[in-house]
């Protein structure tokens, strides 16, 4: 039986096993281009990808470019995206970020972290997703699944998502980040869920910590 004594040992196993389980890493948010990806990622805040994918067809039928979204009334955007939650805030952000993309970026989604994070509704995590999935720039967006699993797998102290991101970037090869963050999400949704595993039950948790008997109560 392999004994994983360091975080680096555990990370190497996680990296290898997730690549075996998920050789392909499709982007889970349905989109047509860079702009529709950005919109979908903004909508995904505190919302499932399934829910986002259920509302974006109606939204994109009316506004699938920054120019069209900037002209669409906030109330109309909010009506369509209401199932995603936080509709007043997200709808205002989508209209304004679209206006700024047209005014300051010639209608093209900006290609840098700083420019993306300057847009309304786009924080570091959203910018990281866009940079990774749209522009293939190495990034490690940390969502609730990744934060939870990184703690269960002993890859981070888990004080906050910022610390988790920094710890994971140190442990995994830079050229693995973009695929790996999706693989961890896929595994977290399918095997190491918030309620379905407590740090002792799923394959990876049990392999890394075969002697663990107590549930892992991570930091949020």
CATH of the domain at 124: 1.10.340.30
Query: Pick from 68, 101, 133: which residue ends a domain?
Result: 133
Token pair 């990808």 is at which residue? Answer: 49
In a shared domain, residues 158 and 120 = no
Provide the pLDDT for residue 174.
Answer: 98
The radius of gyration of the chain from alpha carbons, rounded to an integer in Å, stands at 19
Residue 204 lies in a domain: yes
Query: Pick from 96, 111, 133: which residue ends a domain?
Result: 133
Tens digit of pLDDT for each residue in 64-88?
999 999 999 999 999 999 999 999 9
Residue 77 lies in a domain: yes
pTM, to two decimals? 0.93
Q: Active-site residue among 9, 15, 143, 198?
A: 143
Provide the pLDDT for residue 217.
Answer: 76
In a shared domain, residues 118 and 146 = no
Residue 200 lies in a domain: yes
In a shared domain, residues 168 and 153 = yes
Helix axes 7-21, 177-190, angle to 10 degrees: 80
In a shared domain, residues 124 and 151 = no
Provide the pLDDT for residue 105.
Answer: 98
Provide the pLDDT for residue 84.
Answer: 97
Domain count for the chain: 2
Residue 214 lies in a domain: no
Q: Measured between alpha carbons, how far is 212 from 209 in angstroms, rounded to an integer?
A: 5
Residue 215 lies in a domain: no
Token pair 């995603």 is at which residue? Answer: 84
Residue 219 lies in a domain: no
Residue 213 lies in a domain: no
Q: Active-site residue among 125, 175, 198, 220?
A: 125
Query: Pick from 118, 133, 148: which residue ends a domain?
Result: 133
Q: What confidence category does residue 99 fall into, taking pLDDT thresholds of 50, 70 and 90?
A: very high
Asked whether residue 220 carries a pLDDT value surpassing 80, the answer given is: no
In a shared domain, residues 112 and 201 = no
Tell me if residue 143 is catalytic. Answer: yes
Provide the pLDDT for residue 38.
Answer: 98
In a shared domain, residues 188 and 149 = yes
Q: Which domain holds residue 69?
A: 34-133
Provide the pLDDT for residue 1.
Answer: 67
CATH number at residue 193: 1.10.1670.10
153 φ, ψ (degrees, to nearest 5): -90, 5
Q: Measured between alpha carbons, how far is 141 from 131 in angstroms, rounded to an integer?
A: 10
In a shared domain, residues 156 and 85 = no
The length of the chain, given as a count of residues = 220
């Amino acid at each position: 039986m392999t004994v994983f004594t360091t975080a680096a040992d555990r990370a190497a196993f996680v990296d290898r096993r997730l690549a075996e389980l998920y050789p392909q890493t499709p982007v889970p948010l349905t989109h047509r281009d860079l702009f529709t990806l950005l919109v979908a990622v903004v909508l995904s805040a505190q919302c499932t990808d399934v829910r986002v994918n259920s509302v974006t067809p109606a939204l994109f039928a009316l506004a699938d470019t920054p120019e069209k979204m900037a002209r669409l009334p906030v109330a109309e955007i909010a009506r369509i995206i209401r199932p995603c939650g936080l509709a007043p805030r997200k709808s205002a952000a989508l209209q304004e970020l679209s206006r700024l993309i047209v005014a300051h970026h010639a209608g093209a989604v900006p290609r840098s972290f700083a420019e993306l994070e300057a847009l309304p509704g786009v924080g570091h995590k959203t910018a990281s997703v866009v940079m990774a999935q749209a522009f293939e720039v190495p990034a490690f967006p940390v969502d609730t699944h990744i934060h939870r699993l990184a703690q269960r797998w002993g890859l981070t102290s888990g004080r906050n998502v910022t610390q988790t991101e920094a710890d994971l970037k140190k442990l995994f090869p830079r050229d693995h980040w973009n695929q790996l963050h999706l693989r961890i999400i896929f595994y977290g949704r399918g095997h190491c869920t918030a309620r379905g595993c407590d740090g002792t039950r799923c394959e990876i948790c049990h392999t890394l910590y075969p002697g663990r008997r107590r549930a892992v109560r991570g930091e949020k």
